[in-house]
Amino acid sequence: MHSDRRFLLKSLAVTGLAISGVGWGAWAQATPLAGLPTGVAPVDAAADVLALTSGLSASAGAGALDSAFITGVRSAAQAASHTALHGLDSAPFQRLGRLLGDERSTLLVGLLDDASATLVLDLVRSAGGRVLSEQTHRIDGDAAAWTQALGQALALGQPVPAAPVAAGAPARVAFRCLI
């Protein structure tokens, strides 16, 4: 079929559907999402929120960062739960595996060391979850205020605030996933 003729037929079909009202229901349902920024996925208000932190030693200031991150997440989602991974301890990973297998929507936000984040994000992806955002930061124990703002931004789906850079600090990965 000639391309001009195909275009004409497609245009007539679309016009006919638009005039008859077919497709208006889907359009009306999608309208509230039009105000969302690009790349931000809507999250069901009833979705559970689980915050993950590394549970690294407090000597490197990680304990203060974890506490600030949890405070930020809970300021955005009061019913948020928290799990500290503590290295490769299997219990938190088993809990995450159960969450990945259930039918409830769960928003997973985290600030983890890069090795733990790699494991968690691979688990999420292999279970069919969606990684909505992922950023790598090098921050030290003095970044508690920023970490709190980060937790709040991730829980609300807002843009991540600019991170203070600490040369030589361990890499931390911030992420937001829907499982």
Q: Is residue 123 within 8 Å of 96, Cβ to Cβ? A: yes
User: Tens digit of pLDDT per residue, the chain (179 long)?
Assistant: 555 655 544 454 444 434 444 333 333 333 333 333 444 444 444 468 888 888 765 545 667 888 888 999 999 887 888 888 877 777 878 888 887 888 788 898 998 888 888 888 998 898 888 999 999 988 877 788 888 999 999 999 898 888 888 888 888 888 898 88
Report how far residue 156's alpha carbon sits from residue 175's, in angstroms, rounded to the nearest whole number. Answer: 12
pTM for the structure as a whole: 0.68
Query: What sections of 34-85 are H helices per DSSP?
Result: 62-76
Report how far residue 143's alpha carbon sits from residue 116's, in angstroms, rounded to the nearest whole number. Answer: 20
Q: Which two tokens stand for residue 163?
A: 């991170």
Sequence-distant (6+) residues with CB within 8 A of 100 are 123, 124, 127, 129, 179
Report how far residue 104's alpha carbon sits from residue 122's, in angstroms, rounded to the nearest whole number. Answer: 20
Phi/psi-derived region of residue 22, left when phi > 0, alpha when psi is between -120 and 50, beta in every other case: beta
Residue 111 pairs with which residues in a beta bridge?
53, 174
Q: Is residue 124 within 8 Å of 179, Cβ to Cβ? A: yes
Buried b (16+ CB within 10 A) or exposed e, 121-143: bebbeeeebeebbeeebebbbeb
Q: Is residue 155 within 8 Å of 78, Cβ to Cβ? A: no
Q: Taken in order 38, 70, 77, 101, is the CA torsion positive or negative? A: positive
Q: Which two tokens stand for residue 96?
A: 């995450």
Domain with CATH 3.40.50 in the chain: 48-178
Taking the CB of residue 163, how many other CB atoms lie within 10 A of it? 18
Question: Is the CATH number 3.40.50 carried by domain 48-178?
Answer: yes
pLDDT at 152: 92
Q: Is residue 73 within 8 Å of 85, Cβ to Cβ? A: no
